[in-house]
Every structure is written in structure tokens, then in C-alpha cells.
Amino acid sequence: MDKISKISDNIESVSTDTDTTSRRDFFKKTAVYSASLVAASSVLSPIKAIAGDDTAITHEAEWGTKLGKLVTDNLYGLPSPYEHNNIRRTMDLLSSGDMYASVSMCPIHESEGIITPNGLFFTRDHGGTAIVDPDKFRLMIHGKVKKEIVLTLDQLKRYPSVTRTHFIECPANGSTGWRAPQLNNLQFMKGMMSSAQWTGVLLKTILEDIGLEKDAVWMMAEGSDNAGNPRTIPVEKALDDAMIVWGQNGEALRPEQGYPVRLLVPGWEGNLNTKWLKRLEFSDKPWHSKEETSKYTMLQKTGKAVQFFWPNEVNSVITSPCPEKPWTDLKKGDLVEIQGLAWSGHGTIKHVDISFDGGDNWKEVSLKGLVLPKSWTRFSYIMKWDGKPLLLSSRATDDVNNVQPTIDQETSVVGVESVYHRNAIVTWEVNKKGEVNNVHIRKHNA
């Protein structure tokens, strides 16, 4: 719940920590982590260790010489048991004393395309994952509307549906980097987001049906879970592209994403996409809930805070290579695809540029696959790696010409106490061995 103060508490203790024992612990932990990466890459690229014929070819494969599993073994399919490391992960630092009010990070370093499998979608709960009985689900729409109504799930699903692909991102994604790089792991640096193909009804369809009062300017959405998580959005957004969704990648929403129904506010703060939705109220005033006053407001250098900053700004990150997916298996002169994700809550990705020298010089690269509004967009560049160290950065531009800022461009305006909405350029330092480390390009010597 109090992710923010946890982060600053930690930073405070870390940045003043000169105790040699903890330094030693830190190096020990890092060594373990690096060793696991090296082990992983040797598992993934066994070819260089083989002299002569490969027994994986010359000898019959174990699974090819016996019967496999029954078709009836998993009537709801599961990933291969070999993929057990492709999972969401958590961190005490980003939790509130327990795992009820916490966040699990999406393994975006393993992510393919622009859709997150439902079981890997990042999860942020404020009071545990509610398991809602769909027969007892009710949606109430009231306040400044012409007709105050209650809908059952079946009635809601009788509205005509649309299906759209949108990312959901917590605006605290990347917040550990305000002062300095602290994580060497893409999953934890940028995994507070995921993407899905959502099915539901446009809010506009319902609101045009029941009618809004003239002075209905604000809408509050509330969930039926422990925390409720009420948030206010302007009616203008509700009438633009907001949806009430029940489908996620072709099946019912997962409980972690608000089963049976959540609000979808494309491109805007994840926290606004109220899960386990139960109520929409309309008013001529905003509500000022806990999550839009004490949290999700950005303290500036003046001591004043920005409130109601809804969109997730234009952003991008290179996902391959990344600290978890290094180039340690590459030889000098190998061709390799650099790829990553770009996204903007303000619209559609128009350009992605990448830099090999930390942002001194840039080159526009290809977008790849579908390019949709408020959706993850893949980018790709194929390079011949000469084995020399690189400072690899990506920078996205969207169709309203917002350009992803450098760290200094962002912090010089908003300072480092905003907590939320950090979209500065990410840089990977690739060393001679092909190992990848998170670095900041910023003009100071902290």
C-alpha cells in the first residue's frame, strides 16, 4: 500500500549505508545472481560445447520413444514444465508488510509480441485478490445520470462488445530509478505493465443509453474488493475510449485482473482501471479519494504536487538484450536482432530511435507487427556486433509528437520526488563479454 514511502525509506538507508558487512553481503548476492545468468546462458546455447556429432540429433529423443501425456491430462492447459522460471515475481520493498497489498512484476524479458499471457499479467492488489461470485455481481450506475440502473453480469454482456488491444501500466513503473539506477533486472525495472486484448462494452454505449445530466463532468469508479480503490476520471474520457471489460485474451478476466468485470481506461494510470468493478457514480465535482491525493500525486521541487495526471507518457525499453537476456553467447561479428517495446498512453507510436553511444547519436529503427493506439508496439534493428562495449538506448515518439525525455530532461523539470510517471530513456551498458547492465546517462556525479 505504501509503496512510495517504502521506496524512499530504502533509498535513504541504501544511500547512506557504508557498513562493510552489508557491502560484502551485497557483493555475495550479486555474485549468485550473475552465476545463475551464466548458468542459464550455457543451458540455452549448448552448441559451442559440442565436438563432433550432436547426440541430440544422432540419438533418439526420450520423448520420441514413448507415449506422451494424455489429451485429458490438462483440460485447462499449462506451460511446459521447463518454463517454470517464466513467472511473475515480487519484492518485499514494493509490498506493504505482506503480500495482500503488493505488486507482482510481469516477466517482460520473456514476453513475445504485444500480448501478455493471462497468467503472467502483472498484478497490483490493495487488499488481496477478491474472488467474486458472478451470480452476485452487480454494477450500479448512478448520480448525475438520467436513469440510475443496476446490471447483472448477463445484462451487461448483452450490450454490443468491442475488442481492443491495450497495455495497462502502473505509473510507478520505473520509479526505483528517480535518483540512480538500483535494479539490474528488466522484470523489476519495467514489469509493472502488461498488455492484453480486452473485450467489453464501450462506456459511451451505456452512457448514451441511460443519458447523462448536463453537469456530469466527473465519474468515480469503485471496486467490490477489500480496498474498493475508488478513483475519479473525467466524463470526457469515459465518452472517448473507456470500456467496461469482461474478456481478456479470449477468456474471462483472471481474478487478479478483476474477474468478472473491470474498468479499462486505455493508456491511463493502471490504478484507474478499477478491478472487481461494482459502481460508477457521476458528479459535477471530483472525489479526491485516497489514491488521488495521498498517492498518485507528484510532488515537485516547489513543494507543490501535481494532481490528476492520468496518462502514461510515451515510453520504450529494449527487451533484447537486457540484463536477464544478455549477449554472452554471441561471437564477435555475429548478426543479432535488437528489439524492444514502445508505448504511449497519449496515442500511437510513430517513431523509435536507438543509440549505441548512450544518446549522443541516434538512428530510427523499424516498427514491427501491429501498430495500434495505446498499445505495446514492437521495434527491431538488426546489427553486427563487433564485440565492443555499447551504451544501448531507445527513445520513442508518439503521434502527438511527444518525445521520450532523457533522465536530465525529465528530472530538471519534475525533480526526483514525483514517485510516479517516470518515462526517461533506459540505457543498457553491454560489455565486451556481452553482459548487460542497467546504467543511467545523467549529468551529475551522485
Among 114, 354, 402, 436, binds other proteins (CB under 8 A): 402
Cell numbers standing for residue 58: 544422432
Answer yes or no whether residue 197 interacts with other proteins by CB under 8 A: no
Compute the distance between CA of residue 113 and CA of residue 378 in angstroms, rounded to an integer.
Answer: 7
Residue 331, C-beta contacts closer than 8 angstroms, at least 6 positions apart: 387
Cell numbers standing for residue 301: 521541487
Compute the distance between CA of residue 423 and CA of residue 193 in angstroms, rounded to an integer.
Answer: 13
Closer to other proteins at the Cβ: 53 or 63?
Answer: 63
Q: Rounded to the nearest whole angstrom, what is the least distance from the CB of residue 136 to other proteins in the complex?
A: 13
Answer yes or no whether residue 443 interacts with other proteins by CB under 8 A: yes
Say which amino acid occupies 203.
L
**Please, are residues 246 and 156 in contact by the beta-carbon 8 Å criterion?**
yes
Answer yes or no whether residue 361 interacts with other proteins by CB under 8 A: yes
Q: Which segments within 190-285 are labelled E, that is strand?
A: 193-202, 218-223, 231-234, 243-248, 251-252, 262-264, 277-283
Among 321, 340, 359, 434, binds other proteins (CB under 8 A): 359
Among positions 241-300, residues that touch other proteins (CB under 8 A) are 241, 267-268, 278-279, 281, 283-290, 293-294, 297, 299-300
Compute the distance between CA of residue 172 and CA of residue 312 in angstroms, rounded to an integer.
Answer: 10
Closer to other proteins at the Cβ: 158 or 332?
Answer: 158
Answer yes or no whether residue 320 interacts with other proteins by CB under 8 A: no
Q: Rounded to the nearest whole angstrom, what is the least distance from the CB of residue 253 to other proteins in the complex?
A: 20
Q: Rounded to the nearest whole angstrom, what is the least distance from the CB of residue 227 to other proteins in the complex?
A: 5
Select the span of 66-74, 250-258, 335-343, 415-423 touching other proteins (CB under 8 A).
415-423
Compute the distance between CA of residue 161 and CA of residue 426 in angstroms, rounded to an integer.
Answer: 37
Answer yes or no whether residue 55 interacts with other proteins by CB under 8 A: no
Answer yes or no whether residue 204 interacts with other proteins by CB under 8 A: no
Q: Rounded to the nearest whole angstrom, what is the least distance from the CB of residue 134 to other proteins in the complex?
A: 16
Select the span of 50-58, 67-75, 96-104, 248-256 touching other proteins (CB under 8 A).
96-104
**Please, are residues 266 and 202 in contact by the beta-carbon 8 Å criterion?**
no
Among 330, 367, 372, 383, binds other proteins (CB under 8 A): 372
Q: Rounded to the nearest whole angstrom, what is the least distance from the CB of residue 167 to other proteins in the complex?
A: 14
Buried b (16+ CB within 10 A) or exposed e, 105-118: bbbbbbbeebbbbb
Question: What mask, x for binding other proteins by CB under 8 A, covers residues 133 to 172?
Answer: ------xx-x----xxxxxx--xx-xxx-xxx--------
- How far is it between the farthest Cα atoms of the chain? 79
Compute the distance between CA of residue 324 and CA of residue 156 in angstroms, rounded to an integer.
Answer: 43
Answer yes or no whether residue 397 interacts with other proteins by CB under 8 A: yes
Q: What is the dihedral of CA 200, 204, 210, 215, to 10 degrees?
A: 140
Residue 399, C-beta contacts closer than 8 angstroms, at least 6 positions apart: 347, 348, 349, 350
Select the span of 62-70, 167-175, 252-260, 339-347 touching other proteins (CB under 8 A).
339-347
Among positions 222-251, residues that touch other proteins (CB under 8 A) are 222, 226-228, 230, 234, 236-237, 240-241
Compute the distance between CA of residue 117 and CA of residue 108 in angstroms, rounded to an integer.
Answer: 11
Closer to other proteins at the Cβ: 51 or 66?
Answer: 66
Q: What DSSP character marks residue 323? A: T
Closer to other proteins at the Cβ: 132 or 424?
Answer: 424
Q: Rounded to the nearest whole angstrom, what is the least distance from the CB of residue 257 to other proteins in the complex?
A: 20
Q: Rounded to the nearest whole angstrom, what is the least distance from the CB of residue 199 to other proteins in the complex?
A: 12
Cell numbers standing for residue 241: 475510449
